[in-house]
Amino acid sequence: MLLPDLQTRTQAPVLVPPSLPTPFECLYLSNLDDQLFLRFSIKYLFLYHRKDNDKENDGDAGERIKTALGRVLVYYYPLAGRLRRSEKEPDKLEVVCNGEGALFVQAHSDLTLQEFQRLPKPCKSWRKLLHKVQADSFVDIPPLVVQVTELKGGGVVVCVAISHCLCDGLGSSQFVHTWAQIARKATDMDPFPLPYWGRELLRPRNPLQIQYSHPEFRPVPDLCNLKSRLSSDTLVRTSLRFTGDQLSALKRTVCNDKDGTTCTSFEAISSHIWRCWIRAMGLPGGQSIKLLFSANVRHKLQPQLPAGFYGNAFVLACAESTVDELTERPLSYAVQLLQKAKARLSDDYVRSVIDYLADKSVRPDMVASLVISQWSRMELMEVDFGWGKPLHAGPLASDIYCLLLPSSSAPNAALDVLLSLPESVLHRYAFYMRSISDFAPKSP
C-alpha cells in the first residue's frame, strides 16, 4: 500500500521567552542529569482533531500553544535557559537561566488527519514534524524545541523535544501536562505540583563511597560481535500490541511455575521481550546478556525527593544471565532476575551510583544489553491542550531502546511494544513474541 507523502511548510523559528521576568542564575545539574548517555532530547508527538468550533473559539492553533508556552516557562524557567560546560569541571554540564527562550516553529501540511493516521506509528517521516537545530554539539541546542503543524482539514500535530539532561520521562511529562493545563485555561492545577529543581539533593558524597559493583556499567565480552552487527545491519522499527488478556496470560505463565513466583505486568512483559529478542538475534549460548531498565527512585531515597521534582531521578536496574540460561529455563527465572535487580535499589545503592558517576567517562554497557523504558505512567494520552485528548501520543521515533506504551487506540490495558531490530530477524522476533506459552516453540 502506497503511504501518504508527508511534506511540511515551515515558518521561521522564533524564541519564546518566559512571559514574566525569571531569575538569572546558573543551576547545578546532578550526576544523574549530565550522564553522557543522556545527552539527547526526549521527543514527543501528540495528534489532535481540532474541530470547527475550536477554530472559532481560539483562532490559530500555534498561537494558543505559543502563548501557553511563555506562561509555563515562568515556572519551568530553566527550560528557557541554555546548557554549558562548567568552567570548574569541563566534563560537567550546568544550566544558565538567562530567559533566552524555547525554540518554537509553526508549520502546515497538505496531509489530512485521515491520511496522517494511515502512517505507521512511529515512522521515519515524522521527523519532519520537529525542527532540526543545526548545532556543533548537543550543548548548543536549546533545551526545549517545539513545532506545531496544522494538517489540512483540522488536524494538529504538536511535537516537543526536551533535553534529557534537564528532565527524565516523568519530569518531562509533568512539564507537558502543566503546559497543557495552562493552554486550556484549566482552573484546577491538580494533580501536577509546582516544579521543584532541587538537584543539590543528589550531590555525590565527600568522600565518594562506591559500595556496590554496579553491573549496569561493567562491560561483558562480546562473543558474537553484536556491537558490529547492530551498527551495520539495517534497523527496522517494530510495534507489537499486547492486549490486557495477553498480559494476563503471560502473568499466569509465570505464576504456574512450580516455584510460586508472582509478578507485575511490567516484569512479565519485559522478561518475555528479553527472551524473544535473544532468540530472534540467534545469540550463542555462552554469551552473557543484560536487561537494563529505568527505575524511578524518587521514593527510594531517604529522604524522598519532594513532589514536583522534575529532574533525572532514575537509575538503570540490571538483570544479567547467559543466553542458555534465559532460553532454556522457564520465564519465571527471568522474572526473578528482574525482581532481584529492583530489590537492590535502596537509598545506599542509588547514592553509590551517584558517587560512581563522578567519573565522567562512565557510561552504561550497551554492547550486550537490551534497554527497556516504561512510558505507561506518564499519562501522555491525557495531555489536553484544549482540543480534547490526543488521537495519538507517544515518541516521535523509536531507535535501539525498547519502549512500553499504553495503546492509544485499544482498550483493556493494552500495551504497545516499540523496538528497532535488524531486518533479518523481524520475522523470528514477531513469531516468538506472539508465542506467549512458556514452552519454547520451534523456530519458524
Point out the catalytic residue in the list 33, 34, 131, 164.
Answer: 164
Asked about 164 being catalytic, the answer comes back as yes
Of 148, 158, 153, 62, which is closest to residue 110 (Cα–Cα)? 153
**Distance (Å, whole) CA 54 – CA 46:** 17
Name the one residue in this structure whose C-alpha cell is 532540526. 132
**Distance (Å, whole) CA 281 – CA 328:** 16
Residue 439: phi and psi, rounded to 5, are -80, 120
Task: Report whether 15 contacts 341 (CB < 8 A).
Answer: no
Measured CA angle at 232 (ends 226, 233), to 5 deg: 85
**Which contiguous run of DSSP H or E holds residue 248?**
helix 244-255
Of 291, 256, 295, 300, which is closest to residue 272 (Cα–Cα)? 291
Task: Report whether 312 contacts 171 (CB < 8 A).
Answer: yes
Asked about 384 being catalytic, the answer comes back as yes
Of 116, 35, 3, 19, which is closest to residue 75 (Cα–Cα)? 19
Return the C-alpha torsion angle 30, 34, 36, 42, nearest 10: 120
Question: Cα 14 to the chain's mean position, in Å?
Answer: 26
Known catalytic residues are 164, 384
